[in-house]
Amino acid sequence: MRLSIAILLATITVCGLGRAEELASDKVIAMAGELIQKGDTAAAFQMYRSSLQAKDSIDVRRAYGAACYKLALESRAKLEPQIEPKKAALQAATEKAYKKVSVAKNANATTSTRNGHVSASSPGASDYTVFDPTYPPMLKAQHELEELQRELDKGNALLTEGITQFRAVLRLNKNSDVNATAHIALCSAAHPMLKGQGKILLHDFIVKYASPANPDEKACLDECSKAYEAMLK
């Protein structure tokens, strides 16, 4: 497979204008799709980028953007259900990081220590509650939550890349492309930092294409309507 990809990329680089390049784009899209199905997303995206460096292509950009959007949604569906359990695990572990420490009754009360926090009900109390910031279960839970957030950020980056590719499709089609317009709205609505803008774009698309002229417009309208309704819940 690696040899085939190398030969294909070399072909894309040296071929001239015309049918040969069109076939190369078709092959890129097909082979990149196969790589994504096998889980090799990095190689697939490299194929898309290498093809676009050789020659800009509406079809390759559309396939690249669609792959970004699809993979972002799949990643989110897998990761989001883990957020609340991991937050709960961190809170539970943090609560257990507070421990009671016995000291002499005549010892001076202390409100803090170098490695944690200490509290006492009154000066000279024999029992102190000490927070241990190095408590292993808490650090483990914190690390797992941070790792989950990093994975979610990767999904957001995919949405941003999807927007970039669909905007390029729109530019190449002289700002007239229903599929690209719909996917810019969909990617924006799915991105946590662009939700407000995405909601407006979805609404505008639904209004503009309320009476679809063909099956493609109908499919885009249905997908945008579904995403918009989900945001209203």
Q: Per-residue pLDDT averaged across 147-167, rounded? A: 97
pLDDT digits (tens, 9 = 90+) for 64-110: 999 999 999 999 999 999 999 999 999 999 999 998 887 766 545 44
- For the cut 70, the answer to whether the pLDDT of residue 26 exceeds it is yes
The residues that bridge with 117 in the sheet, in sequence order, are: 112, 131
Q: How confident is the model at residue 7 (pLDDT cuts 50, 70, 90)?
A: very low
Q: How confident is the model at residue 125 (pLDDT cuts 50, 70, 90)?
A: low
The residues that bridge with 131 in the sheet, in sequence order, are: 98, 117
Q: Report how far apart, in Å, the C-alpha atoms of 68 and of each of 35, 161, 184 are.
A: 14, 7, 12
In this structure, are strands 98-102 and 127-131 parallel, antiparallel, or unpaired?
antiparallel
Q: Report how far apart, in Å, the C-alpha atoms of 1 and of each of 21, 31, 47, 122, 203 are.
A: 21, 9, 13, 72, 44
Q: What's the confidence (pLDDT) of residue 129? A: 87
Task: Please tell me the least confidently modeled range out of 13-17, 67-71, 208-212.
Answer: 13-17
Q: What's the confidence (pLDDT) of residue 16? A: 38
Of 3, 64, 1, 78, the closest CA to residue 33 belongs to: 64
**Beta strands across the sheet bearing 117-119:** 98-102, 127-131, 117-119
DSSP 112: B
- For the cut 80, the answer to whether the pLDDT of residue 170 exceeds it is yes
Say how far apart CA 47 and CA 29 lie, in whole Å. 9
CB 82 within 8 A of CB 150: no
Say how far apart CA 7 and CA 35 lie, in whole Å. 16
Say how far apart CA 148 and CA 175 lie, in whole Å. 37
CB 1 within 8 A of CB 39: no
Say how far apart CA 30 and CA 24 lie, in whole Å. 10
Q: What's the confidence (pLDDT) of residue 225? A: 98
